[in-house]
Amino acid sequence: MYIWNHNESKIDTMDRLDALQALVLSNQSGSFAGAARALGVTRSQISKLVASLETEYGSVLFARSTRALSLTSAGATLYDYAVDLLAIAAEARGAMSAIQGSAAGPLRVNAPMSFGQLVLAPLLPGFLTLHPQVELRMELNDRMLDPFEHGFDLTLRIAELEDSSLAARRMCAVPRGIYCAPSYLQTHGVPDSPDALKMHRCLNYAHVNTGHIWRLGKGIETVHVAVGGPLCSNNGELLVEAAVAGLGLILQPAFLVAAHIAAGRLVSVLPQWQESPEIALYALYPAARRVPLAVRALIDYLVMTLPGSVAVALPPSQLYTAPATPPDVGTV
C-alpha cells in the first residue's frame, strides 16, 4: 500500500485544490482572466496557482498565445483528474455538511439572464438567510451550459430537455403567450386566429430551436405557424422593449411581460392560445452518488417558493379591446 508522505509535496492539500480549480476554470473559460472572474480573484493569482502545478508535476500544462489558452497533452491528462478530484471534494463537503445538518460551502449556479433578474433575485435573500453558511455564486447567461463541463453545481434552464447524462428535476411550468402594444393593434388590426399571425410582424426569439415557427395550443388543438418580422434576438427583454415600442408581436414568458401588462403598455393577443408543448424550468446537476446538501437545499427552497406556474393571470381589463367607433351623427 502506498502511504502519502506530506513532505514529498511542495503544495499543501488546500492550495493544491485551489490550483486544480484554477486549472479547470482556466481551461473552461479559455483564459486566466475568465478563471479569475469565476473565482473572484486576480489574474496573477490564477497564473501563480497554475505555475505551482507546472512546478509540482514538472510539465507545461497550457500552450499560451495572445488569443487563448489550450491544454497540452500533460495538461489534458491532469485536467481529467482535476475534474474528478474537485467533484469528490465537493461531495465530501456535502456529506460532512449533511452530518452537521446544515448546507455550507461554495455553490455555483447558472441561470437564464432575465429569469434570474426578475424571478430569482427576489427569492435568493430568503435562501441565504435560511442557509447562512452557503457561499452562493450566481452567474446569469442564456447559453445552455453543461454544469459538469463548466464547473457549476447547478444549472437552471427554461427549455425542452434533451437526453443527457445529467440529473434533472422539473421545477415549474413557464407558459409563453402572445403579446404586443395596443398601438400595434390599432395600426395593424387584431389577429383573430393563429393562422392570421402569418400576416403580422412577429419578433422572434433566437434561442428557441423551432426558429420562426410558433407552436401554439388551445386545449387538445395544436397548430404550427410560420411567422416573420423585422427583428430576431437572443434576448427576451430586448424583444419585449421592441414590442412595447409597437414594433410587432412577441411570444414570450408571462413573467417577462408582467410589469408592462400591469401598466397597460402590452396586452395579450389570442390569450386562449399558448406555446405548446409548454416549456418548464428545470434544475440540472451532475448525476452523482450523493447530491451536495447545498444543491439539494436550493432546489427544495425554489420548489417551495416558486409558484406552480410562473404565469401572470390577466384580468379582463388587461386584455385588448378595440377602441369604440364614434357613432355617425350625420350633418346638420
Query: What is the pLDDT tens value at each position of the chain, 332 positions in all?
Result: 333 444 444 445 557 888 888 888 888 888 888 888 878 888 899 989 999 998 888 889 998 776 778 899 888 899 888 888 887 777 676 666 555 557 778 899 999 988 999 889 999 999 999 999 899 999 998 776 666 667 788 889 887 766 566 778 888 888 899 999 999 999 999 999 999 999 999 999 876 555 589 999 998 899 999 999 999 998 889 999 999 999 999 999 989 998 999 999 999 999 999 998 888 888 888 766 567 788 889 998 998 888 755 655 444 444 454 454 444 434 33
Separation between Cα atoms, residue 236 and residue 252, nearest integer Å? 7
Separation between Cα atoms, residue 261 and residue 2, nearest integer Å? 67
Separation between Cα atoms, residue 128 and residue 248, nearest integer Å? 40
The pLDDT value recorded for residue 326 is: 42
| 8-93 fold | Arc Repressor Mutant, subunit A (1.10.10)
88 phi and psi angles, rounded to 5 deg: -65, -40
Asked whether the domain spanning 176-278 has the same topology as the one spanning 102-172+280-305, the reply is yes
C-alpha cell at 141: 447567461
Separation between Cα atoms, residue 38 and residue 25, nearest integer Å? 8
Separation between Cα atoms, residue 265 and residue 260, nearest integer Å? 5
Separation between Cα atoms, residue 194 and residue 276, nearest integer Å? 13
Separation between Cα atoms, residue 223 and residue 163, nearest integer Å? 25
C-alpha cell at 196: 392570421
Query: Which residues 6+ apart lie within 8 Å of 184 measured at CB?
Result: 201, 243, 246, 247, 248, 249
Domain ranges of the chain: 8-93, 102-172+280-305, 176-278
State the CATH class of domain 102-172+280-305: alpha beta
Q: What is the pTM of this model?
A: 0.64
The pLDDT value recorded for residue 273 is: 94
| 176-278 fold | D-Maltodextrin-Binding Protein; domain 2 (3.40.190)
The pLDDT value recorded for residue 263 is: 93
The pLDDT value recorded for residue 269 is: 95
Other CB atoms within a 10 A radius of the CB of residue 251 amount to 25
Q: Which of 110, 197, 202 is nearest to 159 (CA)?
A: 110
Separation between Cα atoms, residue 309 and residue 307, nearest integer Å? 5
